[in-house]
Copies of this chain bind each other. A is one copy, B any other.
């Protein structure tokens, strides 16, 4: 059976249904009578017709296109959460398109501009953070329902979902203090992500609550090459004996991976065993943290909850459902491994 169906009109003729009804079916299969739907789906099997996306969206108010923007797809954390978010959009009947800003302000703006011409129904964005053009994102969010995740930006967008980074710091500090010396905090000097600040604050608050003096070691470095920054900053910190205790809490797992490399190079044995000289912990539960040497103790972000809240609140809001809370923070889970 050769399919010479070239448009909806011909398909309508072939299936014995009027074109507007076919159109209605493709917009929402449940909006037509059961008997009609069956007829259409039978015909669909015989002639493999698919509506022209461009013609469809030209006159449609609701394209059901959604953009997903993350700062960096090379970071497994973002590729994982992007995958999660993407899947949820598809399941909800939307058409997601994935973009990465590659850590670059101009690219983030460019993505939004290109997105505009796609008449998107919504946007799910994990902003770059400090480097984001807040005004541009805010302007965009006036035109298109926008939901932020991972990194909170002023008061932009319908909702925000992310981790309770303050709690992260508190939780792991308590664990580290309970099981050994109180930790120093290892971070980038100018973190691009506002979460880093919350984590530092959580660390400081927890240390003070436990009667310890906080000790923050900030190292230089720009961009998203966190492992390299962690390693090079680690060398420097080790060499100038910047860590006042034998325990280091890193602002994120990628920095920790770099620090582990630096410790290895300096022949420092990492872990909580007898012959170990330093304990290292991170935050995020990066997909590779399970396989470092030693495996990294960390706080796992709640990927599932974060992406669920982002997607649900976007689609609810599009479909007119009132949203209860604008900001939703999810707690992390302590992952105990051999590094601390």
A residues touching B (Cβ–Cβ < 8 Å)? 50-58, 73-74, 76, 79-80, 82-83, 95, 97-100, 102, 113-114, 116-119, 227-228, 231, 257-258, 260-261, 264, 287-288, 290-295
Contact among B74, B98, B114, B260 for A293, CB-based, below 8 A: B260
Interface pair B73/A294, CB less than 8 Å apart = no
Taking the full assembly, how many copies of this chain does it contain? 2
**Which of B58, B114, B228 is the one whose CB lies under 8 Å from A52?**
B58
Q: How far is the CB of A338 from chain B (nearest CB, A)?
A: 9
Of all chain B residues, which has the CB nearest A74? Answer: B79
B contact residues around A74 at 8 Å (CB): 76, 79-80, 83, 287
Binding site secondary structure of chain A = helix
A336 to chain B, nearest CB (A): 15
A95 cross-chain contacts in B, Cβ below 8 A? 114
A215→B191 CA distance, assembly (Å):
48
Given known contacts A73-B73, A73-B82, A76-B76, A292 and B55 CB-to-CB distance under 8 angstroms:
no
Q: How far is the CA of A176 from the CA of B80 in the complex (A)?
A: 36
Q: List 26 A-B contacts (CB under 8 A).
A: A50-B113, A52-B117, A52-B119, A53-B54, A54-B54, A54-B55, A54-B57, A58-B58, A73-B79, A74-B79, A74-B83, A95-B114, A97-B97, A98-B99, A98-B100, A227-B288, A227-B290, A227-B291, A228-B291, A260-B291, A261-B290, A261-B292, A288-B288, A292-B292, A292-B293, A293-B293
Nearest B residue (CB) for A57: B54
In angstroms, Cα B82 to Cα A79, docked, is: 12
Is B79's CB under 8 angstroms from A119's CB? no
Most chain B beta carbons < 10 A, residue from A57, A261, A293 = A293
Q: Nearest Cβ in chain B — how far from A73, in angstroms?
A: 5
- Which of chain B's residues have a CB closer than 8 A to the CB of A264? 293-294
Candidates B119, B231, B287, B291; contact of A261 at CB < 8 Å: B291
In the complex, the chain B residue whose C-beta lies closest to that of A260 is B293
